Chain A
């Protein structure tokens, strides 16, 4: 294995339960947000995104919620599975143009069978 997630906050959930991963972003000018999943030994994988004109967006088993008032983003995973075990990062575009992103610190999700 490798040290991705070694020093990151950890969320431990039981298989089948719902998971909620939180992210506080810093730049009030950000208008685009992404959640990435990084499994051990792999690069970050796009999960879901949301623009600031929305407060909720749903995908397959995942929902992203955006609260611009308190600059908070969350990722909800329904019926968490062992394959969901990974490190999750939020990213924001800040004041940048041209696809540049700033990444949050990350949360390690551990799913107990």
Chain B
């Protein structure tokens, strides 16, 4: 039931791009994306609702393929501040309030 994230870890040079994937075995109502830095609270990045959509947030964007039950997070021209662990969280219905989190993708950006 837990969504599967890939890759588990990514090491990039500043300015490079990254893609993080989130896949579920169950039908999805929504997908959330959060970033958590070591010792800090998760920070909300964006939410995508069923219907298949894309969203952009500065150089961070995401897509949601409802049929494939997948979402991808795109980080463009990565900055040092993008380092952290990225989590996707999924909700399975409009009357379901339980956010089920993936295991996370650790992103390391080097200068």
Q: Do A and B come from one complex?
A: no
- Chain B residues close to A by CB (< 8 Å): none
- Chain A residues close to B by CB (< 8 Å): none
